[in-house]
């Protein structure tokens, strides 16, 4: 089956909005989704960009745009209490789950974490919260904690972020179609869908 | 009649795309459009942002996105031969036309300049080209040249850019609805239209 690569950062609200829609979009075009966590901070180092909420003038606008965009798409969005920051535990936990329980379990965990963070006020940088969330999927919390702290997993996450940049990923959400076309931003999902439909018509 | 403020820079391709659609969008909701040229470079100084085509990794993507977005909306787009740069003559000419011939003539001139630059390969930083384009509207070229070079006009353009920033404008295209709601980017025109429709339903 054709797979769409979906790059996201657990700290990105626009990636959250995209994450709530990517599976159904892909399914409409007989595609699966490969969920790929990356570290946006590493990309911003290369591009020299600053997280939008911290940019003068732009910060207030972005908060307003997020609320409006979420409402427009019928998605619940509650601004996290914590300021913008690195979220490393969630992607590491996800990668450990991927290695031990497979891609589907990892994708379900990622979706659940994003919802918890951006709709339910749960701090997903807290290992205890991650254990609860994994527990909902009957994943062992103790093994998860050991796993996400391991050097192997830390390295795997770093490598995955670097590989994404080599493919040209410079921001999130970032989607690459089965035939290699890149789409940056939730606001390009209309064009992404059009692209997938056209590709199917040709096939 | 209710007026929408439409902020743009003559050098911004996304502002060009938006400019090709803003009038008909406004008309559908019984609004007029106040065309407001600004200097994006001044805003980028405040926000610390870099023009997208010059950002590592992002540059190539943006060119692809522009072509795709133009096609998606059925708008002709040809990348200008000149590299990204300041365009000062066109906005100054526009402001002089606004003072001497009124807002409608100025808006028509702005639309014509953007089309010339982004669809017809005409260098709108060249005063001679600006005279030709103004001539199509029977505006006197010699007076235009004197006007756009005058200190009064230079000052007026600078002031207008600064006023825009005081209203929170940090990028282009940037649109503010009659009731003060800001929308940044051509990709927010769907939400802008939804906002105008809702405002009319309430009125």
Number of domains in chain A: 1
- Tens digit of pLDDT for each residue in B90-115? 999 999 999 999 999 999 999 999 99
- Supply angle C-alpha B143, B144, B148, rounded to 5: 120
Closest-CA residue of A relative to B51 is A49
B82 to chain A, minimum CA–CA distance in Å? Answer: 23
Token couple for A144:
């998860």
Angle between helix A189-202 and helix A13-28 axes, rounded to 10 deg: 20
User: What's the pLDDT at A67?
Assistant: 96
Instruction: Measure the N-to-C terminal CA separation of chain B; round to a whole number of Å.
Output: 13
Mean model confidence pLDDT for chain B: 95
> Phi and psi at residue A19, in whole multiples of 5°?
-60, -30
One digit per residue, the tens of pLDDT, for chain A of length 203 reads 799 999 999 999 999 999 999 999 999 999 999 999 999 988 888 888 877 778 888 888 999 999 999 999 999 999 999 888 899 999 999 999 999 999 999 999 999 999 999 999 999 999 999 999 999 999 999 999 999 999 999 999 999 999 999 999 999 999 999 999 999 999 999 999 999 999 888 87
Instruction: Please give the helix or strand (H or E) that residue B175 lies within, else none.
Output: strand B174-176
- Tens digit of pLDDT for each residue in B133-185? 999 999 999 999 999 999 999 999 999 999 999 999 999 999 999 999 999 99
Between strands B174-176 and B2-8, the pairing is antiparallel
User: What's the pLDDT at B46?
Assistant: 82
Q: Which of A176-180, B2-6, B181-185, B196-200 has the lowest mean pLDDT?
A: B196-200
Active-site positions of A read 12
User: What's the pLDDT at B200?
Assistant: 83
Q: Is the CB of B74 inside 8 Å of chain A's CB atoms?
A: no
- Residues of chain B with Cβ-Cβ distance to A182 below 8 Å are 61, 64
DSSP state of A50: -
Q: Is the CB of B158 inside 8 Å of chain A's CB atoms?
A: no
CATH number (domain holding residue A169): 3.40.30.10
User: What's the pLDDT at B115?
Assistant: 98
User: What's the pLDDT at B44?
Assistant: 86
Count of CB contacts below 8 A, A vs B?
72
The answer to whether B60 contacts A168, with C-beta atoms less than 8 Å apart, is: yes
A interface test, pick of B43, B51, B61 with most A CB neighbours within 10 Å: B61
User: What's the pLDDT at B14?
Assistant: 97
Q: Is the CB of B72 inside 8 Å of chain A's CB atoms?
A: yes
Secondary structure class of A176 (helix, strand, coil): strand
- Residues of chain A with Cβ-Cβ distance to B43 below 8 Å are 57
Q: Where are the alpha helices (DSSP H) in A34-126?
A: 40-47, 58-72, 89-101, 103-119
Burial class of residue A178, CB neighbours in 10 A (0-12, 13-18, 19+): middle
Write out the residue range of the structural domain in which residue B86 sits.
2-202
Q: Who among A61, A165, A182 is closest to B182 (CB)? A: A61
User: What's the pLDDT at B98?
Assistant: 98
**Arithmetic mean of pLDDT, B46-54:** 79
pLDDT higher than 80, residue B51:
no
User: What's the pLDDT at B86?
Assistant: 93
- Residues of chain A with Cβ-Cβ distance to B57 below 8 Å are 43, 46-47, 165, 168-170
**CB-based contacts of B119: which residues, under 8 Å, 6+ apart?**
B76, B77, B78
ipTM of the complex, rounded to two decimals:
0.90
User: What's the pLDDT at A48?
Assistant: 81
- Residues of chain A with Cβ-Cβ distance to B72 below 8 Å are 190-191, 194
Q: Is the CB of B51 inside 8 Å of chain A's CB atoms?
A: no
A77 to chain B, minimum CA–CA distance in Å? Answer: 17
């Amino acid at each position: 089956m054709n797979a769409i690569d979906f790059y996201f950062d657990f700290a990105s609200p626009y990636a959250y909005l995209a994450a709530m829609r990517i599976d159904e979009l892909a399914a409409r075009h007989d595609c699966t989704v490969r969920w790929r966590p990356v570290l946006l901070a590493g990309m911003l180092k290369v591009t020299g960009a600053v997280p939008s909420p911290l940019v003068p003038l732009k910060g207030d606008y972005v908060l307003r745009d997020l609320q409006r965009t979420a409402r427009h798409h019928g998605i619940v969005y509650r601004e996290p209490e914590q300021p913008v920051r690195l979220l490393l535990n969630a992607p590491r936990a996800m990668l450990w789950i991927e290695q031990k329980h497979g891609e589907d379990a990892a994708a379900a965990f990622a979706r659940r974490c994003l919802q918890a963070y951006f709709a339910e006020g749960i701090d997903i940088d807290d290992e205890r919260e991650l254990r609860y969330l994994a527990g909902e999927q009957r994943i062992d919390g103790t093994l998860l904690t050991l796993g996400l702290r391991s050097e192997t997993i830390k390295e795997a996450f770093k490598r995955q972020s670097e590989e994404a940049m080599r493919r040209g990923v410079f921001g999130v959400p970032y989607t690459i179609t089965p035939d290699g076309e890149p789409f940056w931003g939730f606001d390009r999902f209309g064009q992404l869908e059009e692209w997938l439909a056209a590709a199917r018509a040709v096939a």
